[in-house]
Amino acid sequence: MERIEEEAVMDATTRAPGNAVGEIWPPLPYEEWKDTIDTLHMWTQIVGNVKLELEPFLNDWWQVAFTLTARGLTTSTIPFGHRDFQIDFDFLDHRLNIRVSDGGIRSIPLLPRSVANFYQEFTGALDAMGIQVRITTNPVEVENTIRFDQDQVHASYDSDAVTRRWRILLQTDRLLQVYRTPFIGKSSPVLFWWGTFDLAETRFSGRPAPERRWPARWMALGAAQEQASAGFWPGSGTVQEAAFYAFTYPEPPGCRDAVIQPDAAYYPVDLSEFIRPCEQVRQSPSPDQTILDFFQSTYEVGATLGSWDRSALERPNPLHR
């Protein structure tokens, strides 16, 4: 495997004086904040559905995703008639901020409250700012089927855990930006997906994926081409821990049996993707390099076994010295 140049990595352990690894890659035990995950996930889905309703379609649903900020997550600007607005999750002051291009500002505290309560205050704030938008109240891509406006079950908010998880997302975003540099084919920005509650970057081979029957049309629109995705999510389902992940779609023969660097990665058959637990990364001598090696190794395995035209899709970093 061609190892990503270490000089291209802002390794936290060697280039950030005064910042301990535990501060940059903080612990995130799943059991301690899983109830907060479920609640915050639904809050992001409520906000995300506003973007889904108002943004014009962009290939592979890129228009609906959020991006990272120096304080949390943002929808970026959303058009509404001749005005624009933006919704930001602030995970330092723990507020949801709505800003409109005409100068209007509303702020909602992020604290322990039910999904239904959050939904009512958020939609009320939009109405008060003259932003009338009807969204679906049905959660997506989760087993939870309680409508947002009726969900009194999920009501947890551990602000410390939320901040730690956001800091991990920031560092993952930084590394995914490095990882995507050598790829010159079609690739996504680094995006936060509120449907699956993960941060990811996706590369595409340029060839259509084999046809298959999907449960919903929107799924087919996001899987029209062969792709390789890598990212981070806080844990759910059969993986009850924060983890980095990577997969190739469609899965090429031999992929799940391939040797991946670092060798602590594993491949749950029911997920069909490689998993590298976050806690193992935290304990490694160089967390940054461990993650980059995992992303690059899984991509090379999938792209090689899938017969991607790698010579046409990759080139060395032109700014590397």
Per residue in 140-179, pLDDT tens? 999 999 999 999 999 999 999 999 999 999 999 999 999 9
**Residue 8 domain flag:** no
Radius of gyration from C-alpha coordinates of the chain? 20
The Cβ-side half-sphere exposure at 74, using a 13 Å CA radius, reads 12
Q: Residue 139: what are its φ and ψ, rounded to 5°? A: -60, 155
Beta-bridge partner residues of 106: 98
One domain for residues 118 and 221: no
Asked if residue 39 has pLDDT above 60, the reply is yes
Range of the domain at 120: 30-150
The model's pLDDT over 170-214, given as tens digits with 9 standing for 90+, comes to 999 999 999 999 999 999 999 999 999 999 999 999 999 988 776
Asked if residue 20 has pLDDT above 80, the reply is no
State the average pLDDT over residues 303-310.
Answer: 98
**Residue 244 domain flag:** yes
Last residue of a domain, one of 120, 150, 180: 150
Asked if residue 85 has pLDDT above 60, the reply is yes
The model's pLDDT over 214-240, given as tens digits with 9 standing for 90+, comes to 666 666 677 889 999 999 999 988 889
One domain for residues 109 and 178: no
* CA 162/CA 171 separation, integer angstroms: 15
One domain for residues 34 and 69: yes
Q: Residue 281 in 3-state DSSP? A: helix
What total of structural domains would you count in the chain?
Answer: 2
The mean of the pLDDT values for the chain is 91
* CA 91/CA 164 separation, integer angstroms: 9
One domain for residues 98 and 205: no
| pTM for this entry | 0.91
One domain for residues 73 and 210: no
The model's pLDDT over 245-254, given as tens digits with 9 standing for 90+, comes to 999 999 999 9
One domain for residues 146 and 170: no
**Residue 145 domain flag:** yes
One domain for residues 118 and 202: no
* DSSP assigned state of 5: P
pLDDT value at residue 171: 97
Whether the Cβ atoms of residue 75 and residue 51 lie closer than 8 Å to each other: yes
pLDDT value at residue 113: 98
One domain for residues 101 and 184: no
**Residue 159 domain flag:** no
